[in-house]
Structure 1
Amino acid sequence: MTALWLTVVVLIALALALVLAPLFKAHDAIGTTQQALARRVYAEQLAQLAHDQDAQALDPADRAQAVDDLQRQLLDEASRPSAPTRPEKPWMGWGVALVLSLALPAAALLLYQQVGDPRAAAALAAAPAGSHERAGQDLQQLVAALAARLQAQPADVEGWTMLARSYEVLQRYDDAVLAYRKAIELAPGQPQLLADYADALGSARKGDLGGPAQEAIDAALAVDSQHPKALALAGMAAYQRGDAALARARWQAVRELMPPDSEARRSIEANLAHLDAPPAPSRPSPAAHISGTVSIAPELRNRVAPQATVFVLARATSAGPMPVAVLRLSAKDLPARFVLDDSVAMTPERPLSRFSSVIVEVRVSASGQAASQPGDLYGVVRDVTLGQDGISLLASEQEK
């Protein structure tokens, strides 16, 4: 990445040199007078007369008359008062040079940020669920273009990192894991990459931070024992194993690294408060669930392969676009009864029972990915109250 920016700086310097040099030279030419211009014109026309005579296009008598006329014109110009051909304002060249020196690099940077930065894919990927119809197809094309570019330029570690994060926002966690592995191969021992890789592994395994995710967390902390994300994930991994003491130590350590009024610190404090809360009952409250039947509209049924994946999702408007609970079914089993509760929560710190009202969505995906894809079937039921039964969830719309 450093080499890229050095190249950009050199190219901008060369461009400035080419643009500014004539402005600085213009100051040296200010003293040009009308007499000097007349002498130059006289010399050029005299040379042209000699050329015409040599080419036998002009006889000697005519040439002599023409030379005589030119000499009279030159003497007439020499008798006039000397006047500069342009006002002496050297500051104008320097002023224009200063403006260009500032504007050209700034314009180049702004243009790069808009169309050259792979982060654009990640930024577009953060659109909420309600914008699927507007931007889903464009987003898929951007991410696909970035993936194709990386196949041709596989040594771009930042590109692989941006691709992985884009996949995460699209909930394509298996693809995110592969992209992070590519980035780590190119830049081993980077704690941020290792922590992000562990997070993606956990998401791909429905929140489980054991096994390879734990190994990545340990590797990140071995490089930087105070890395905030690695510490937070280590606390969650310990909590999942039932090691409350280690979870507390990890979360207390990361809390001290967070700004006092930050959202991240409040989240860590909520986790610590959860550790201090009385033990939860071994079985969730009967009201802490949502149930109903899910099916595909009859007129669309023949468009769905039996092996297509069916996702039943619960989203809370206060928790952003990420689902709080996900249930995976198969199209061949529909219609089917479903139950969403804390056992299918995306993360333990955000159980379904925390939210009083949610949006329930069904998505039939041929690709097996929960993120919106053109051709997917979907259906939504809004304002579902926790504890509500008998919901009829119908996949009756198709993504464009």
Structure 2
Amino acid sequence: MSWLGFGGLLIAALLFVALPLWPRKPRSHRTRLGAASNVAAFRARRQELDEQQERGEIDAARHRELLAEAERLLVADAGVDSGANAVPQHGGGAWLLALAGIVVIGVAVAGYMRLGAVPDLALRALLAQDSATPSAELVTRLKTRLTQRPDNTYYRLFLARLELEAGHPEAALAAYRELLKREPDATQVRAEYAQALFLAAGSQITDGVRAEAEQVLARDPGNPIALGLRGISAFQAGDYRAAIAAWDAVIAAAPASAEADAVRGAIAAARARLGEAPPPPLVRIAVTLGAGVAPDIAPDTPVFVFVREWQGPPMPVAARRLRVADLPVTLEFDDTASLTPARPLASIGKIEVVARVALGGAPTPSPGDIEGRAGPFVRGAETVAVELVIDQVVARSPGAAESPRP
């Protein structure tokens, strides 16, 4: 809630308290009119009862009973009128009004500071800090906030991930278990829980890890974490074909990701266990930064390297995502790096290669980005080897922009 919205609610609360206590002008004139009307009604009722007795419609006892009832109504009406209009004309209630206002403001501000958006804003500021390692202050604040808002699944999930990144798998497991109590059907949470179990067991597949991963895959067959664990389980059991199949599915889900590169290395290890030589890459790109470029760029700035069809559609055929800190680097591309099975890299005859430092973080080119391009290259039976230097500043966004999948 913004401060503007909070202020509006606070004003409404003050009005709710203050209006009943606010001094009113006397209504003696209206009171006198009401009393006169009541007396006139009583006299008319008494005359009516007298006439009914004279006509013999009611006896004397009934006459006395009805007349007494009319008198009681007259007295009651007079009391209501006087009580409703007996408003003090002096400032005796002002202290109560002031006290009520102070209490409302104090309680509202204290409640807002503790339970409102202020702690969330502080957490957001910590989360926005560009840090590779989670700070102890962030973890502490998340734990404190969760004592105030235990049902906030986002905070609990973030805490679990931070604990896992910090190398505290047991603390992460506790957070994941609490999440699964509240959201037992959350497949991504269960997949991360299985990963935490795996790390807590010293990077070994246990029965618990296997059961959790398979439970995830029964509901979400493409979950990359669970597929990765299935591949590790098969590899540790010596079933290298099954491991390769599981890991191929991981790469297919996000071929341009940094995780896909690690999985490619695992697949190569599995093929080596089978005695198979890995297929030669279709394209090999050696990427370096131009002289004088690196000192001005943060190490975590993303770098996108991709292969396009020469003078073809702007969408890359294959891509990888790196960081400036990873450069220089040599990348090898084969069909597993293809962004879509409909356009495998092996089917493209003429290519160009592009490497771009994305200062804005987006895969599409923006003014100020720094890139290198080379091509065309005719792809044949031999590996296309390219040396690419990133040293050209992008002056403006082109009409058709490349969009490698992050």
The one of the two structures with greater contact order (alpha-carbon pairs below 8 A, sep at least 6) is 1
Q: Rg bigger for which structure?
A: 2
TM-score (ref. length: structure 2): 0.37
Instruction: Give the TM-score normalised by the residue count of structure 1.
Output: 0.37
